[in-house]
C-alpha cells in the first residue's frame, strides 16, 4: 500500500489516464481554427453542466464557461473546426480492448431531426422508431453515418471515430464504404492494426447492403457482418457441372436458401448453444458459402463485366426471450468470411449484439442533457455539424 491507501498500480493507471486526457484536450484545442478559446470552454461547459440545459444562455452560466453569452453565440455562428485533424486525433486514442485482440467497429445512421427548420438545406426524411408496433414515423432531418469502436460487455460507451452527413443525392453504400475505408486506414496508420493481426470486424444493421459493402471493401483487412431481412433468398455454390449432365456452360448459382422457408434449409455446417443471463439459451446455426443472385439493376446497373459471386457465411440466431419478456424472432446475419468455426460464429453474433451500444452512445445521446435538437450544434455534435 502507498499514497494514503492507494495501490501503486491503481495510482499509476490514474496518472496515465489523466495524462492521456490532457494530451487529447491539447490536441482538441488545436483542431479549433476559429473562436478556439470559446469553443473549448463551451465543450467543457456541456460536459460539466450539473443537469439538463434548456437554453444556450443557461449554458453560459456554467462555471467552466468564463466568457459572456455573447461570446457563446459568436462561437456557434463563426467557430470553425478542422475535421480532418479531429478524425486523426480520435484514431490515435486507445481503442477498447477485447480479449482476442480483434478490433470491432459498429456503423449506424444517427438522425438529427429538424422538422421545423424548413430552410435548412438538404433535409431528408428520416425513419424514427416509436414505442409499440406501428408507431414509427418519418420526420425531416439530417442523417449521419457514424463509425465507432465497440467495447466488450454491456455498456453505453463506444469510441466514436467518424461521422459523415448523408445528402439526398448520395449513394449510402458508397459513402459508407469510403467512410469505413478511411477510418480503417487511420487506425492502421495509428498502429492499432499491424500485419498478422486478426481482421477488423465491422458490424452493420439491416439498413445497409452489407454484401455490396463486402465487395467494395474486399481489399481491406476487414470482415463485415450485417443483418439481413427475413425474406431474402441466397444461393449455395454452383455444382461442378450442368445438372442434366449435358455439355454447356456451368451454372453460376446453386440451390436456393429461402430465409422464410425452413424446407429449403439443409443442416447447418456449424451449430452453437450458449447460455446467457439476458436472453436465455442462444442457438446459432451457420451455413457456409452462401451468396445472393445479383442483377444488372439498382446499385449494380452500371457494373462493368460479369456480376460477381460474393460468398459468405449465413448465421441464424434464435434466443429464448428478450428483455421485458418479449417474444423474439430469429435474427439472420451475413458474414463476409467463409469456413466458419464455432468460435467465429459466436464471435459474430455476440459482436452484433454489442452494436446496439451505439443506440445510447452515438452523438445525439446529448438529448439526455435535456436539449432540443436545435441546440445540439455547440455540444458533442460539433463534429457532426462540421462534417
Is residue 151 predicted with pLDDT exceeding 60? Answer: yes
In the chain, domain spans = 1-81, 88-361
Q: What is the pTM of this model?
A: 0.85
CATH topology of domain 88-361: Transposase Inhibitor Protein From Tn5; Chain A, domain 1 (3.90.350)
Is residue 376 predicted with pLDDT exceeding 70? Answer: no
Mapped onto helix, strand or coil, the DSSP state of residue 346 is helix
User: What residue ranges in the chain does DSSP mark as E strands?
Assistant: 32-34, 80-81, 104-113, 124-128, 137-149, 159-165, 200-204, 222-228, 233-235, 256-258, 270-276, 280-290, 312-319, 331-335
Sole residue written with cell 427548420: 117
Give 309-331 pLDDT, tens digit per residue: 999 999 999 999 887 667 788 99
Strand 104-113 and strand 137-149: the pairing is antiparallel
Among the residue ranges 141-145, 220-224, 246-250, 299-303, the one predicted with the least confidence is: 246-250
Radius of gyration (C-alpha) of the chain in whole angstroms:
24
Q: What angle separates helix 36-48 from helix 69-78, to the nearest 10 degrees? A: 110
C-alpha to C-alpha distance for 31 and 80, rounded to whole angstroms: 9
- pLDDT band (50, 70, 90) for residue 241: low
Give 108-135 pLDDT, tens digit per residue: 988 878 788 888 888 888 877 665 556 6
Across the strands, what pairs with 273? 283
Is residue 203 predicted with pLDDT exceeding 90? Answer: yes
Instruction: Report the residue count for the chain.
Output: 387
Among the residue ranges 2-16, 87-101, 289-303, 340-354, the one predicted with the least confidence is: 2-16
What are the grid coordinates assigned to 241, written together? Answer: 457441372
Give 264-279 pLDDT, tens digit per residue: 999 999 999 999 988 8
- pLDDT band (50, 70, 90) for residue 293: very high
Are 128 and 154 in contact by the 8 Å Cβ rule? The answer is no
Amino acid at each position: 500500500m502507498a499514497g494514503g491507501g492507494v495501490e501503486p498500480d491503481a495510482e499509476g493507471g490514474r496518472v496515465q489516464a489523466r495524462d492521456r486526457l490532457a494530451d487529447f484536450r491539447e490536441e482538441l484545442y488545436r483542431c479549433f481554427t476559429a473562436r478556439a478559446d470559446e469553443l473549448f470552454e463551451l465543450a467543457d461547459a456541456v460536459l460539466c453542466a450539473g443537469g439538463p440545459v434548456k437554453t444556450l444562455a443557461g449554458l453560459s452560466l456554467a462555471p467552466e464557461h468564463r466568457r459572456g453569452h455573447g461570446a457563446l453565440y459568436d462561437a456557434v455562428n463563426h467557430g470553425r473546426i478542422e475535421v480532418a485533424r479531429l478524425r486523426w486525433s480520435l484514431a490515435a486514442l486507445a481503442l477498447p480492448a477485447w480479449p482476442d485482440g480483434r478490433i470491432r467497429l459498429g456503423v449506424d445512421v444517427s438522425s438529427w431531426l429538424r422538422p421545423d427548420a424548413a430552410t435548412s438545406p438538404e433535409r431528408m426524411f428520416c425513419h424514427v422508431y416509436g414505442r409499440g408496433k406501428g408507431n414509427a414515423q418519418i420526420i425531416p432531418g439530417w442523417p449521419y453515418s457514424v463509425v465507432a469502436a465497440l467495447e466488450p460487455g454491456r455498456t453505453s460507451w463506444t469510441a466514436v471515430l467518424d461521422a459523415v452527413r448523408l445528402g439526398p443525392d448520395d449513394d449510402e453504400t458508397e459513402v459508407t464504404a469510403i467512410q469505413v475505408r478511411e477510418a480503417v486506414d487511420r487506425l492502421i496508420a495509428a498502429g492499432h492494426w499491424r500485419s498478422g493481426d486478426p481482421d477488423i470486424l465491422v458490424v452493420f444493421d439491416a439498413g445497409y447492403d452489407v454484401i455490396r459493402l463486402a465487395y467494395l471493401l474486399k481489399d481491406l483487412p476487414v470482415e463485415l457482418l450485417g443483418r439481413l431481412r427475413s425474406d431474402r433468398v441466397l444461393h449455395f455454390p454452383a455444382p461442378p457441372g450442368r445438372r442434366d449432365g449435358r455439355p454447356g456452360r456451368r451454372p453460376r448459382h446453386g440451390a436456393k436458401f429461402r430465409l422464410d422457408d425452413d424446407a429449403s434449409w439443409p443442416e447447418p455446417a456449424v451449430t452453437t448453444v450458449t447460455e446467457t443471463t439476458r436472453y436465455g439459451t442462444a442457438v446459432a446455426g451457420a451455413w457456409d458459402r452462401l451468396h445472393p443472385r445479383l442483377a444488372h439493376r439498382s446499385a449494380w446497373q452500371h457494373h462493368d463485366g460479369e456480376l460477381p459471386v460474393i460468398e459468405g457465411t449465413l448465421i441464424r440466431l434464435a434466443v429464448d426471450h428478450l428483455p421485458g419478456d418479449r417474444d423474439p424472432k430469429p435474427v439472420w446475419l451475413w458474414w463476409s468470411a467463409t469456413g466458419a468455426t464455432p468460435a467465429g460464429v459466436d464471435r459474430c453474433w455476440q459482436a452484433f449484439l454489442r452494436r446496439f451500444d451505439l443506440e445510447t452512445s452515438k452523438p445525439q445521446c446529448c438529448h439526455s442533457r435535456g436539449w432540443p435538437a436545435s441546440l445540439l450544434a455547440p455540444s458533442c455534435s460539433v463534429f457532426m455539424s462540421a462534417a
